Amino acid sequence: MTIELTPQENLSGDESIAPQGFGQVTAAATTFDPTDVDAAYSFFAENGYVVLANCLDAVEVAHLNEFFDRTQSENPDVWGLGEKRKPHHRNQGLIFSQPLLDYPELDPYTQHPSSNAVVSKILGGKDAVRFSEFNFRETPENAGHGKMNFHHDRAAEDRLEREPYMPCDWLCAIHYLTDVEPDAPCFCVVPRSRKYVTLKDAFEAQGKDYCEVPIRGPKGTCVLYDTATYHTRLDGDGSLRRRTWHQYYARGGWIKSTLPGKTNRYARAPSPVLTDWNLFPERLAMHLDPATRLFFSHWNTAQCEWVASGFSDDIRKSMPRGEQ
């Protein structure tokens, strides 16, 4: 099956200047060693993203690529490669939305030791790290140009004025599973953009400091970004393939914070759920180890109903992406 991206119109930037954003693309991103936790954290706290080198070893990269190959051939429907393309994520390449549901072989990746220390520090300590979502994506060969708009993912209103800003509400980790060379599609961020309501606001306020940073690197590279930070998938030459693993984390627990004009009783609640459809399998949600149960404790109402049903297959089937 030929998969082609459907190009978006550049609504967040300026179409007359660039196909995506405002075309102020810089040369290269700074990369950190994930064991240098303080340096990686400081960079993230200031910029809203950080790139970590060598977060997956060769065996893991081979395993995950073999997982893509195996599931695409044995179970093409879960990738939207079957008879019918799936109703969601149709225009932006392939996605396997909920691979954790049926593949316990992926469990060890959910709290990966390479990035764990940096992830914990960003979310306010290891006891505050919660799981949100885990998916695999592929921009296939010769998929063309998607011109994905710069956007932020889910973001909390109070980010615009709370003090202090950190820890962030949701954190996404994208791991490259194929080499992302200059002509491949790549993740691209706008540093220090998480407190703007639109990309244009960031562009106008930052002036000559505004930039779009393309993140390229060998397989095993990990990008951590605050979901409130503007980003996109920057198109490559339209022919090279890119495979990625996307994992979202949330922040757990209550923390003190202040908002201008509010009493000092303001406190930040655990992050709300990221989506209304994402499900956690029984073996993780009901894990015997309390720390693992806490990590998988951010349930949405679909999950609550699934748990109440005794993790019924029929209930799962009735849910969007329940089987994809």
Residues making contact with ligand AKG (CB under 6 A): 137, 153, 187, 231, 233, 244
Half-sphere exposure of 218 (CA within 13 A, CB side): 7
Give residues with Cβ within 8 angstroms of 236, minimum separation 6: 182, 183, 184, 185, 186, 242
Count of residues binding Fe ion (CB under 5 A)? Answer: 1
The amino acid present at 118, given as its one-letter code, is: V
132 binds, among Fe ion, ligand AKG, none (CB under 5 to 8 A by kind): none
Nearest 10 degrees: CA dihedral of 184, 90, 301, 232? Answer: 30
- Work out whether the CA dihedral 121, 124, 129, 135 comes out positive or negative: negative
Kindly identify the residues of this chain, within the stretch 303-322, that bind Fe ion according to CB under 5 A: none
In the stretch 48-67, what mask flags binding to Fe ion with x, by CB under 5 A? --------------------
Q: Smallest gap, in angstroms, from Cβ of residue 194 to Fe ion?
A: 13
CA distance 197 to 42: 24
152 binds, among Fe ion, ligand AKG, none (CB under 5 to 8 A by kind): none
CA distance 63 to 74: 16
CB nearer ligand AKG, residue 137 or residue 321: 137
CA distance 315 to 146: 34
187 binds, among ligand AKG, Fe ion, none (CB under 5 to 8 A by kind): ligand AKG
Q: Smallest gap, in angstroms, from Cβ of residue 92 to ligand AKG?
A: 7
By CB under 5 A, residue 107 contacts Fe ion: no
233 binds, among ligand AKG, Fe ion, none (CB under 5 to 8 A by kind): ligand AKG
Which of 153, 158, 179, 181 is the binder for Fe ion (CB under 5 A)? 153
CB nearer ligand AKG, residue 100 or residue 274: 274
From the list 247, 224, 207, 246, the residue with the least C-alpha distance to 166 is: 224
List contacts with Fe ion (CB under 5 A).
Answer: 153
